[in-house]
């Protein structure tokens, strides 16, 4: 995984300053966090992986390193700058510039994914929005497939609904700020 050049880190900080609620962090996710988010995925399971909020592409690269061909990754990015940069750094990945909170407008209702991996700053959004996003994402997964979410909070960003379990998959202390990786499954 390539380290993020200083100019890209500064651009990230600029994107954060312009829209802190959508970016959610003062620094890009670390390689350690990205690798921890890729671990619960299984490249042997057929189907595409849906990545929400890929930002600089560090998690996208970790998914590729995990064994997913770029063509199997669909990334939904709200920020035009990040979407453009992701297309350049990860050729073959389908990058959709759009709102992850509006998945119904972006994908057919019957498409099922092998995993959903989210770097969205969920704690910056109202609880009802968070609950709806996770419920919608879970409904788009193959049976038993994971919805993976990182958070800076001490607890999961959304309490699991009935029939859903959530587990703490990793604590990443060497991330700015320290993060937790949560895995939801039906």
| pLDDT of 23 over the 50 cut | no
* Cα–Cα distance list, 104 to 101, 108, 122 (Å): 9, 7, 18
Where residue 15 falls among pLDDT bands split at 50, 70, 90?
very low
The domain 6-185 having CATH identifier 3.40.50.150: the answer here is yes
Percent of the residues in the chain that have a pLDDT greater than 90, as a whole number: 80
Ordered DSSP codes for 90-120: STT-EEEES-GGGHHHHS-TT--BSEEEE--
Where residue 176 falls among pLDDT bands split at 50, 70, 90?
confident
| pLDDT of 3 over the 80 cut | no
Residues 6+ apart with CB under 8 A from 16: 23, 24, 25, 26
| pLDDT of 5 over the 90 cut | no
| pTM, full prediction | 0.86
24 or 156: which leads in pLDDT: 156
Read off the pLDDT of each residue in 116-133 and give the average, rounded to a whole number.
Answer: 96
**Alpha-carbon span 157 to 140, nearest angstrom:** 19
| pLDDT of 27 over the 70 cut | no
pLDDT for 28-42, tens place per residue? 678 999 999 999 999
Q: Where are the domains of the chain?
A: 6-185
Query: Computed over its alpha carbons, how large is the radius of gyration of the chain?
Result: 15
| pLDDT of 107 over the 70 cut | yes
Beta bridge partner(s), residue 49: 73, 115
């Amino acid at each position: 995984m390539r380290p993020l050049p200083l100019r890209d880190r500064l651009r990230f900080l600029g994107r954060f300053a312009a829209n802190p609620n959508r970016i959610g962090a003062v620094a890009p996710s670390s390689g350690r966090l990205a690798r921890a988010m890729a671990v619960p995925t299984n490249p042997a399971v057929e189907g595409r992986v849906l990545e929400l909020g890929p930002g600089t592409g560090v998690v996208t690269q970790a998914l590729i390193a995990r064994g997913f061909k770029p063509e199997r990754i669909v990334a939904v990015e709200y920020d035009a700058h990040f979407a453009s940069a992701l297309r350049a750094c990860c050729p073959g990945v389908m990058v959709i510039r759009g709102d992850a909170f509006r998945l119904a407008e972006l994908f057919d209702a019957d498409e099922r994914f092998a995993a959903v991996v989210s770097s969205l700053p969920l704690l910056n959004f109202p609880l009802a929005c968070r609950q709806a996003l996770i419920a919608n994402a879970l409904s788009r997964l193959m049976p038993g497939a994971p919805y993976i979410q990182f958070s800076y909070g001490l607890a999961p960003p959304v309490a699991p609904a009935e029939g859903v379990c959530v587990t703490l998959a990793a604590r990443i202390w060497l991330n700015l700020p320290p993060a937790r990786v949560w895995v939801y499954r039906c």
